[in-house]
Amino acid sequence: MRVAVFGAGYVGLVTGACFAELGHHVVVRDVLTEKIDALRQGEVPIHEEGLAELLEKNRERLSFTTEVEEALSEADVVYVAVGTPPTHSGDADLTAVWTVIDELPRVARRIVLAMKSTVPVGTGRAVRHRLGERGLENVGYVSNPEFTAEGTAVNDFLNPDRIVIGSFDPADGDVVAELHKDIDAPILRSDVNSAEMIKLAANAFLMTRISFINEIANVCEATGADVVKVAEGVGLDRRLGPHFLRAGIGYGGSCFPKDSLALKQLASNSGYHFQLLAAVIEVNELQKRRVVGKLERRLGSLRGKRIALLGLAFKPGTDDMREAPSLVLAGRLQAEGAEVSAWDPVADPTGQLDGVAIAGSALEALEGADAAVIVTEWPELRDLDWAEAGARMRNRLVVDGRNMLDPATLRAHGFEYEGIGRAVN
């Protein structure tokens, strides 16, 4: 089949590369000329496991353009994979989505518009209406949300838990189902509103689990239990399962923070105060800041203290720093008068961390530091020469925001170690 993908960001590129891998012919369209030029030359603008290989392997079925007409000339399905960032009110900003809809030219044949971007419930209905106003009755509409996580997006796309297809006309849903026929996963067919809500609800549920385990961690600290063991014991209950129970310094990224706000706002706009979700968001905000209190309890005032942030990306396996806890933490530490150094193996913080000394290696970031904070659980940090790290630091203190290090090993190297929700000895 022939697929056009509008938007060459994380979601659009992964969608395009994976459909090409499934044997479809794909044109990826973006408004940014430099991005399209780079992609044409075989450069991949983002760090995503397996993506570069897939783009290279399927070159003959993939092309890139800035032209709407070129992207649409033969397409059976047009995917919308543009950004939907939050506005000041917390609603999703659908400007880029509407631009795509308004740019669609009249086509003689039937095509299906498939929404991959995360949008509020009711968007499909509004798009359907706008297409009607523009006389584009032969453009079908399907909601086909993505559930891919950064770092594992290619694998998540090709081996999903489920494929959700919401349509107004079942025949349009059939076309999108056909695109996925070589993927071995259950397909859930629904109305458009429900498909839109499935995406928002799934994300909100995952965030609820994270904030829940983070609060359990905070109570563990107050009572002397170890959240790592607690999560293991809780997760063995088949009704609960082990996933998304890693306590830490809070979730970040391009999806969770914006999608939770958008769902909360969507509920408010419809006259419902979503109390649980509001609490999930607040717990997450406080969780990022708790590290500062931990450092102060050990070091006293942070004025003039040097704190090394190890990891800047919102999670390992990606260079993405959108809504990363590192940004909040760096800002809070600087506000307390600390000097902040930082290291990340792939994220490029240029322009995002004013006044932070960016180091070329973790050891360099630790030079003269009074404390190290593990912000992102990069595997490199587990393998770090902690004896050497201790020798370089002014004071041997590690606050492990991801509970990734072995406390006994650190203590053997003379460190004070504090995790999240772990008994402090």
Count residues contacting ligand UDX (CB under 6 A)? 19
Does the protein bind ligand UDX through residue 281 (CB under 6 A)?
no
Considering the rule CB under 6 A, would residue 410 count as an interface residue with ligand UDX? no
- The minimum distance between CB 16 and ligand UDX, in angstroms, equals 17
| 18 in catalytic set | no
C-beta of 174 vs 380, nearer to ligand UDX = 380
Q: Are 284 and 258 in contact (CB under 8 A)?
A: no
Q: In whole angstroms, what is the distance from residue 242 CA to residue 255 CA? A: 21
Report the site for ligand UDX in 253-272 (rule: CB under 6 A).
253, 255-256
> Which positions from 230 to 249 touch ligand UDX by CB under 6 A, shown as an x/- string?
--------------xxx-x-
Which of 180, 294, 305, 315 touches ligand UDX by CB under 6 A?
315
Cβ neighbours, 10 Å, residue 361: 12
Residue 64 makes contact with ligand UDX by CB under 6 A: no
Judged by CB, which is closer to ligand UDX: 265, or 376? 376
Among 50, 83, 124, 252, binds ligand UDX (CB under 6 A): 252
Residue among 58 and 254 whose Cβ is closer to ligand UDX: 254
400 binds ligand UDX (CB under 6 A): no
Q: 65 vs 123, which CB is nearer to ligand UDX? A: 123
Among 274, 314, 343, 415, binds ligand UDX (CB under 6 A): 314
Establish if 349 lies at the interface with ligand UDX (CB under 6 A): no
Contact between 396 and 402 under an 8 Å Cβ cutoff? The reply is no
Residues 201-220 that bind ligand UDX (CB under 6 A): 203, 206, 210
**Which member of 112, 158, 217, 255 is catalytic?**
255
Q: Determine if 50 is a binding residue for ligand UDX (CB under 6 A).
A: no
Site for ligand UDX contains 312 (CB under 6 A): no
Site for ligand UDX in 107-146 (CB under 6 A): 146
Candidates 148, 167, 260, 341; binder of ligand UDX (CB under 6 A) is: 148
CB of 145 to ligand UDX, least distance (A): 8
Window of 15-23, 55-63, 250-258, 264-272 that interacts with ligand UDX by CB under 6 A? 250-258
Question: Residues in the site for ligand UDX, rule: CB under 6 A?
Answer: 146-150, 203, 206, 210, 244-246, 248, 251-253, 255-256, 314-315
The catalytic residues are 255
